[in-house]
Amino acid sequence: MAQRKATSLQTPLLVCNWKMNPQSLREARALASKIIRAARYAPPASVLLAPPFPYVAPLHALLKGQRAVALAAQNSTAHEQRALTGEVSYGMLADMGVSRVIVGHSERRYIIGETDKTINEKVALIHAHGMTPLLCVGETKKTTPAKALAFIEQQLVRDVAGFDKRAHFSIAYEPVWAIGGSKEVDPSYAAHVIEGIHVFCAHHFSSVPRVLYGGSVHCKNIDDFLYYRDTINGFLIGSASLRAQDMTIIIKKIYGKR
Ligand code: PEP
């Protein structure tokens, strides 16, 4: 597999996607505090917490005084600010220190029914409001890296259509069949697909996006994925991001102790 050394120079990102967890603010604060402590030697804004919306403001307060951990949103609106019941504006997210927004997660695509058109609108709005989209892509069924890549290229074309070629964004490659916390995934499969995404992006964008991997990463398999650290520019973690012990091990393995 051809290696693209340029991308390995970027600090790896570690994004904790808490989904609809934990069930109380007390637990959210306790988990965040442990992750902040584990990440105290990590580079600025390299570890991102993506909590449910009600915890964004209290965690914003908790993160003050440290630089390693920053906030991401799990979702964002497809609308500019106006009278729209139930939506959260980009101005509010920015005011709470949100720097990145997860968009196109498979649970929103296939459970909520979000279309590429909506995802495309969100990507443009996230960017227009000075934040970085973390665009999730990935094939639904286990297949070959070549077929997975063909599927992902179609998603990328639709999801970033009309997007400024120089615009800054990141990608999370998440094979949908591998999401769930304990699925068997071959890291070399993930690395092959990510290598292909890098090549595709090099042809289509002038800024080089980081490409993260997500899908059943935990403290027991992180070393296998880190073997491909020249290709995989970080991780989007669901289930294991709710376990402070897992996160402590993963953070140490990725960033070491300086
Ligand atoms: C995810 O849903 O983004 C994810 C990576 O989940 P998990 O780590 O639980 O597979």
The CA-atom distances, in angstroms, between 113 and each of 48, 103, 155 are: 26, 13, 15
* Residue at 8 is within a domain: no
Q: Whose CA is nearest to atom 3 of ligand 1?
A: 238
Per residue of the chain (258 residues), what is the pLDDT tens digit? 444 444 445 799 999 999 999 999 999 999 999 999 999 999 999 999 999 999 999 999 999 999 999 999 999 999 999 999 999 999 999 999 999 999 999 999 999 999 999 999 999 999 999 999 999 999 999 999 999 999 999 999 999 988 777 778 999 999 999 999 889 899 999 999 999 999 999 998 888 899 999 999 999 999 999 999 999 999 999 999 999 999 999 999 999 964
* Residue at 238 is within a domain: yes
Q: Tell me if the bond preceding 22 is cis, omega within 30° of 0.
A: yes
pTM: 0.95
The CA-atom distances, in angstroms, between 2 and each of 12, 120, 162, 179, 187 are: 19, 30, 29, 27, 16
Task: Quote the CA–CA distance of 127 and 27 in Å, as a whole number.
Answer: 32
Q: Whose CA is nearest to atom 8 of ligand 1?
A: 238
Place of tokens 């996160």: 247
Provide the residue range defining the domain that includes 162: 13-75+89-255
Which is the catalytic residue, given 114, 139, 174, 195?
A: 174
* Residue at 84 is within a domain: no
* Residue at 122 is within a domain: yes
Q: What backbone phi and psi angles, to 5 degrees, belong to 136? A: -90, 130
Q: Which domain CATH number covers 236?
A: 3.20.20.70
* Residue at 133 is within a domain: yes
State which of 13, 16, 17 you would mutate to test the pocket of ligand 1, scoring each by most atoms of that ligand within 8 A of its C-beta: 17
Paired tokens of 81: 């600010």
Tally of domains within the chain: 1
